[in-house]
Copies of this chain bind each other. A is one copy, B any other.
Amino acid sequence: MAEFDTGLPSVRQIQGLIKEGKEVEVKLLTQDVLVGQLLWQDSDCFCLATQEGIRTIIWRHAMAYIKPQEVEMGSRSLQVRQ
């Protein structure tokens, strides 16, 4: 397990999303896009409560990116070409 540097900008910014209870969109290396609220983070994982309230433990190594769920899901806000 890697040490967990809580001083990192990325860790602090995500801690902010957790504190604000912000809805986030998480893209995984499996191509899954999970939407919900982050409950906690540690050096290995995140815990996301999905919109059905199911606590999903996601491994950091499987994360591609995370962004706040700003706009209506329908309108693809991120310029993503696959």
Question: How many chain A residues touch B (Cβ–Cβ < 8 Å)?
Answer: 53
Whole-angstrom distance from the CB of A13 to the nearest CB of chain B?
6
Nearest residue (CB) in B for A8 is B42
Q: What is the oligomeric copy number?
A: 6
Nearest residue (CB) in B for A79 is B35
- B residues within 8 A CB of A31? 30, 82
- Mostly helix, strand, loop or mixed at chain A's interface? mixed
Please, what's the 1-or-0 string for A35-58, where 1 marks a CB less than 8 Å from any CB in chain B?
110001011110100111011111
**A5-B1, A34-B80, A78-B56 known; A65-B10 Cβ under 8 A:** no
- B residues within 8 A CB of A44? 8, 10-11
